[in-house]
A and B are shown apart, each in its own frame.
Chain A
Amino acid sequence: DVKVTQSSRYLVKRTGEKVFLECVQDMDHENMFWYRQDPGLGLRLIYFSYDVKMKEKGDIPEGYSVSREKKERFSLILESASTNQTSMYLCASSPSTGADTEAFFGQGTRLTVV
């Protein structure tokens, strides 16, 4: 089975802290994604990566950065956490850049910034 693992299910951080959310996939997928999920807004794409050290901005990249040093790991970084970044964060991976490949999701990290 494909597995996408996010390092924490729940996280509480203080305003201004630097926060790292980690995601690891075990299926050698080229593509990896970070989304945030908020009620009524669906899944919004923050950043994605189609190869090691390659990254592209999604629809809401402000306040976030990412790192992909190894193919299996994709990290989301909140440089200075703010309360409006309180949300559910979902990582996903997919095996190619084709339009006909499914994405596999991690369980999500519920981040609360206080």
Chain B
Amino acid sequence: QQPVQSPQAVILREGEDAVINCSSSKALYSVHWYRQKHGEAPVFLMILLKGGEQKGHDKISASFNEKKQQSSLYLTASQLSYSGTYFCGTGFQKLVFGTGTRLLVSP
């Protein structure tokens, strides 16, 4: 079962903030976040683990609520380079990705 992401799409002006949510119907051991720019491969941003450990990006933050089986990605003071499609991923061995959120940052 794919995690569900919201919103499906968001448009920002440079410098604005955005939150992308990821919700799973299954228990989460960890949550991955990736960004895919148009025509390119998805690229790893960060992993959040049970217990609060976080590995990855130093300019983007995220939260992981194990009880609610949800994660949120926080993009603050957005830059043009943040444009792309964001995916959350879950699964201990079988890595399953969400439906994606398209983010467009305009000047």
Q: Which residues of A are in contact with B by a Cβ distance under 8 Å?
A: 4, 31, 33, 35, 40-45, 48, 50, 56, 58-59, 90, 92, 94, 97-108
Contact = CB atoms under 8 A, between A and B. Distances in A.
A24 B20 CA distance: 32
B104 interface: no
Contacts of B93: 31, 48, 50, 97
A33 B87 CA distance: 16
A20 to B, nearest CB: 20
A45 B32 contact: no
Given A103-B89, A105-B41, A105-B42, A48 B100 contact: no
Interface of B: 1-2, 5, 8, 29-30, 32, 34, 40-44, 47, 49, 53, 55-56, 87, 89, 91-100
B8 to A, nearest CB: 7
A45 B99 contact: no
Given A90-B41, A100-B49, A103-B44, A42 B99 contact: yes
5 contacts: A40-B100, A42-B98, A100-B30, A103-B95, A105-B41
Contacts of B40: 107
A47 B55 CA distance: 27
Contacts of B99: 40-42
Contact of A103 (B8, B32, B53, B98): B32
Nearest to B44: A102
Contact of B94 (A41, A58, A101): A58
A94 B5 CA distance: 23
Given A31-B93, A44-B2, A99 B29 contact: yes
Nearest to B97: A43
Given A42-B87, A99-B49, A59 B44 contact: no
Nearest to A110: B39
A99 B1 CA distance: 17
Given A42-B87, A59-B1, A100-B53, 6 more contacts: A42-B100, A44-B2, A94-B95, A97-B92, A97-B93, A105-B34
